[in-house]
Chain A
Amino acid sequence: MAPRPLTDARAAWLGLAVAAVFVGAQVAVAAGWSVSHDDPTNLELTARCFAREKLLQVEPTRDDPIASSASGGTLTTVVEGNLVTVAIVSHASEAERLRQAYLALGGDVESRLEVRGRYVRLWHRPPSPAQQQTANDCEY
């Protein structure tokens, strides 16, 4: 029996099938990777930097509902004796929301509050340049 001639339609559908296999294979590899591997979050990278590179003790944030509401998470550490709560946000609008919430607390918050990109930091005392630099070094 003679083989069926390859029509344009058949070539097109065979092409689509092969392309779907290529794309499916790439999706399968990526899905498999994402299921079996957890890429570190910015919070984890920041905590790792504080702990391993700055030799600071990192703890979860307690009793700060504003920082705890940050979409990227929060941590607390002490830099040269100055306690700092670090909150990580995803958008500039979220950073502004946290800033406004902190400012609404009143007092000397403004001098202790830092907003740099995705990082919102509230220090216990106004930070020194060296303390700020330590925190800046662990931004991702």
Chain B
Amino acid sequence: MVGRVYAATVGAIFAAAAVLFTWNAWRFDWLRGYDAFANDLYATVVGTDFRLPSTAETSVWHTPPLWFALAGELRRLADGAGWEHVQRPGQLLAAAAGLAVCLVAFLLARTLWPERRVLHVVALVLTAASPALVRASAMYHPETLAAALAGAGLLVSVRGLRTRPTLATGAGAGALFGLGALTRAWALPMLCAALLALGLDAWRRGRWGPVVALAAVSAVLVGPWLVNQQVAHGDAFAFNRAAPATSLLERRPTSFYLGPHALHVFDRPVTPAFRNELVPHLYADWWGDWALTWDTPPPPAPGQLLEEGVVGARVRQNVVGIVPTLLALAGLVALTLLAVSRRSLAVGLLPLSAAALGAAYLLFAVRFPSTDGDTIKATYLLAMLPAAAVGAAFVVDSAVPRGRGWSIAVGIGLAVLVAVQLPFLVL
């Protein structure tokens, strides 16, 4: 791909993503996103009283406060300016963070393989056209900001590991991971992965400064929050419900792990089908809108019918998702093999961070089972997206000898992927 075409393509994709995310954030009814009302109560308390909310004031008191502080301040300013929709600046903040996630994926690809421009473009498109990111970018919710900050921490770590980590690498990554963990706890497993990778690098080189800086800066930022949770609620990772008093192995039925109704993702991928079956539930929520909170009326009462076309649109999304999902899985495995084979911690940190987040999420979902499937949401795994997209792009760019013909075929494939999804992605 020649330089001008590359620059124009990348610019056009970022511009299109910016328009899409902004349009959706502007149009999406803020109350349709999950936890929206509770989020607004939290943001109001932080923005007006400058304190953390109590357990009685909002059901999301267990979520770290950074996004709520920002959204609360924006809310206060919007209120002062006489805006009718005072939550909209918070949604636009989520949209901007969604765009930052796209930037992280693109820069990760560029950092690891600077010369492979097709790979950069594929990673960028797969990220920007990922329905879970598009939906989260319109919501009044901290998910995208956490994913952007944790992704940026990952990027700084990878850049350092690719050459030679410095104190600035460690401190910068620590600041980003720390802020990410102050937004959503999902950044913590990614921080642990970075600590492990930088720790192994320090072991090799005998230079411990960067990893100590990473640990120290992130601890300074997120430590007070975790201590507060431990002191106030008896658990640094407290949640808004008590965990059942049974062993972890008994908290979920076998169907949670096996997904026996997985084939229904291709005929009825909406609530209540395969509720609480981990893989199909996550898949249908990532590629479609399992809980029916996007562009439809709320889920109907028992016996009532969904509007015509609602199921069909989601079936189409789930069919479209097969190839990118397969590529993402293959990519994470391929990057793992590559990292082991070439002893590359920079490459290895991507699958390692994805695995850490996946394991942390699995533990959470098992620890806090819910009958309505409330603890299974694709957007909880959003921080995994840049690594998965880069992995998928690596497979696309490596499986077949590179050439002009293949580049054109990949371009057509990406265009089809986006075009088929547009009716769903644009509100």
Contact = CB atoms under 8 A, between A and B. Distances in A.
Given A26-B279, A30-B262, A34-B263, A11 B337 contact: yes
Contact of B341 (A5, A13, A18): A5
Interface residues of A, number: 36
Nearest to A45: B302
B224 interface: no
Contact of B262 (A16, A27, A93, A117): A27
A26 B259 contact: yes
A92 B329 contact: no
Interface of A is mostly: helix
B359 to A, nearest CB: 16
Interface size class for chain B?
A: 35 or more
B404 interface: no
A6 interface: yes
A9 B399 contact: yes
Given A15-B333, A29-B258, A29-B259, A9 B398 contact: yes
A6 B338 contact: yes
Interface stretch (B6-14, B98-106, B211-219, B303-311): B303-311
Nearest to A23: B326
B304 A116 contact: yes
A92 B338 CA distance: 53
Nearest to A88: B303
B303 A18 contact: no
Given A16-B326, A91-B308, A140 B303 contact: yes
Contact of A14 (B303, B325, B337): B337
B305 A118 contact: yes
Given A6-B342, A117-B300, A14 B258 contact: no
Contacts of B260: 29-30, 33-34, 37
Nearest to A90: B305
A26 to B, nearest CB: 5
Interface of B: 258-263, 279-280, 300-305, 307-308, 325-327, 329-335, 337-338, 341-342, 391, 394-395, 398-401
Top 8 A-B pairs ranked by shortest CB distance?
A139-B303, A15-B334, A33-B260, A117-B304, A15-B330, A19-B329, A6-B341, A30-B262
